[in-house]
Amino acid sequence: MSRGRKNSRMFLGLDSSTQSLTAVLINPASGEIVCQLSVNFGAELPQYGSPSGFIPGGTDGEVHADPSMWLEALDLLFSRLAVATDLAKVEMIAGSGQQHGSVYLDATFDARLAALHPAQNLADQVTPALTRQTSPIWMDTSTGPECAEITAALGGPAEVCRRSGSIAIERFTGPQIRRFYKNDPAAYARTGRIHLVSSFIASVIAGKSVPIDYGDGAGMNLLNLATLDWDNDLLDATAPDLRGKLPAPAAANTLQGTVSPYFVEKFGLSRTCRCALFTGDNPASLVGMGATTPGNIVISLGTSDTFFAAMPGPKTDPNGFGHVFGNPAGGFMSLICFRNGSLAREALRDRLGLDWPTFDGAPQVAREAAGSNLMLPFFGPEITPRHDFTGPVLQGAPEFESGTQPALQVRALLEGQFLNMRLHSQWMEVKAERIRLTGGASKNDGIPQLVADVFQAPVERLAVTNSAALGAALIAATAAGHDLSSLQQKFCQASPGSALQPDPALGPVYQDALCRFAVLLEAALRP
Ligand code: XUL
């Protein structure tokens, strides 16, 4: 291959998240991000009635999304990429998906993928294979009884956690599969393939059913982390004949052959463009944030907030809130998910009638009140800790509790969110040496400074905002032989001037606030 051609090789990362589908295209030789594009489901595909990426109004805790919407977004994204860039230069594609969500397909799925016709669209050609019209996603909390049944069959939560890295969790795929099997056994019997969101999109791109990677597979309560295979007892406790319906588990950088001719003919990808596996959005983000080695903590402030880190060795959360997923760079990562992320920030902002810049700046306005007022920051049901909260709990000065000084409430909400993270991440026993912060709420300095102060650790932000799609692009380049740490040196640097240092004077203040927060929380959780 000529030097010029080698230097223009590009790698594409896709991220199918809750609210949007994003592409990041990188050129490792120049160290450039060549193109970044996104399709927002709610705004650009309003016909699916899913303003936030899922179908509103589900009952009994059900939260589903329409897989046709993801397919239509894929067509739309590739048609835009074909205009914005030369897709023929893409050598490898990898990707990520919102974790835990599942897609149910009949025995015709593979034949349909093999016969995709570029004159028609993906949704019309693929969705006739669905045996369940909509997909449960990670926000779904409907599977309490199924979690209890799986737990009982295995002899207790500790055993489920020891094998799969998490106790049985409502949003995890195994309990969701069990609920489908119990509610509609005939449709379950017709199901020949069950994919995660990540492996579903990867299969469409590869033109055949591809494996589930260890990173995302570990979010199913089905993968045995010691053997890296589906666990027979967990399979049996979940639903009959399940092994035959699941793709095999495999490492994220396993190659899957070349891209489907559909994408070659329709969008101009090269016939030699290859596909690596897709992983979960959090494992991909670990890569994109340059945090695949221990010592770095990532906090992602999104619809849900997540707190994750590469693990030096295997360890599970004795309280069952934390999870262990595969680290795409090898080994494992821990993750804790907090449902009341932006959900709570936006609820308080609206309740106080503030705009976002005022909200974001409020912690610094009320700096002298650090650690003095407490808020349990839950505007709806929470998963860490698991409880059906109906609103926040406030404890502090009268002007704080009455809301006459909105900045005090904003500060206490954010402090509450980060104190709750500190409290529930203690099991990891990792000292936060450096926190890399990402997500919409991390842009200005107000909230990041508060994170630095509460955790007493320096905070950095990266120039790239789409860390999962960037991580996927890095996984694609790694699968083609590039060295991950050199790629991370190029693509995952903190943006200049973004580092914030903690104020050491606030160390004891937040140590004390953490104890008071734990006491208030315990009282709220007491039956
Ligand atoms: C992680 C989780 C969420 C989704 C969001 O366990 O449920 O972070 O991955 O996309």
Strands 102-105 and 193-196: antiparallel
DSSP string computed for 369-397? GTTTSEEE--SS-EETTEE---S-EEES-
pLDDT of the residue at 253: 78
pLDDT of the residue at 6: 61
Q: How far is CA 122 from CA 12, 62, 271, 278, 525, in A?
A: 20, 26, 19, 19, 47
CB contact at 8 A, 79 and 87 = no
pLDDT of the residue at 2: 47
Instruction: Count Cβ atoms below 10 Å from residue 250 Cβ, excluding itself.
Output: 17
The pair of three-digit structure tokens given for residue 255, joined into one six-digit string: 């190659």
Q: How many whole angstroms separate alpha carbon 333 and alpha carbon 344? A: 26
Q: What is the atom index within ligand 1 of the atom nearest the CA of 138?
A: 7
**CA dihedral over 275, 281, 286, 288, signed as positive or negative:** positive
Q: What is the atom index within ligand 1 of the atom nearest the CA of 304?
A: 8
Direct distance between the N- and C-terminal alpha carbons of the chain, in angstroms, rounded to an integer: 68
Q: How many whole angstroms separate alpha carbon 363 and alpha carbon 171? A: 33
Q: How far is the CA of 336 from the centre of ligand 1 (A)?
A: 9
CB contact at 8 A, 247 and 200 = no
pLDDT of the residue at 5: 56
Q: Look at the block and give the residue holding tokens 């939260």.
A: 63
Q: How far is the CA of 439 from the centre of ligand 1 (A)?
A: 13
Q: What is the atom index within ligand 1 of the atom nearest the CA of 18?
A: 10
pLDDT of the residue at 1: 45
Residue nearest to atom 7 of ligand 1 (CA): 138
pLDDT in tens, 73-132: 999 999 999 999 999 999 999 999 999 999 999 999 999 999 999 999 999 999 999 999
Q: How many whole angstroms separate alpha carbon 241 and alpha carbon 7? A: 48
Q: 25-50 b/e with 16+ CB inside 10 Å = b?
A: bbbbeeeebbbbbbbebbeebeebeb
Q: How many whole angstroms separate alpha carbon 513 and alpha carbon 56? A: 37
CA angle in degrees (0–180, nearest 5) for 519-378-97: 120
Q: How far is the CA of 339 from the centre of ligand 1 (A)?
A: 9
Q: In which residue ranges of the chain is pLDDT below 70?
A: 1-7
pLDDT of the residue at 429: 82
Going through 17-152 in order, the beta strands assigned E by DSSP cover 20-27, 32-40, 64-65, 90-97, 102-105, 135-136
Ligand 1 residue neighbourhood (C-beta within 6 Å): 17-18, 98-100, 138, 171, 219, 280-282, 304, 306, 335, 337
Q: How many whole angstroms separate alpha carbon 172 and alpha carbon 221? A: 6
Q: How far is the CA of 303 from the centre of ligand 1 (A)?
A: 9
Q: Up-side HSE of residue 93: CA atoms within 13 Å toward CB?
A: 31
- Max intra-chain CA distance, the chain: 72
Q: How far is the CA of 351 from the centre of ligand 1 (A)?
A: 26
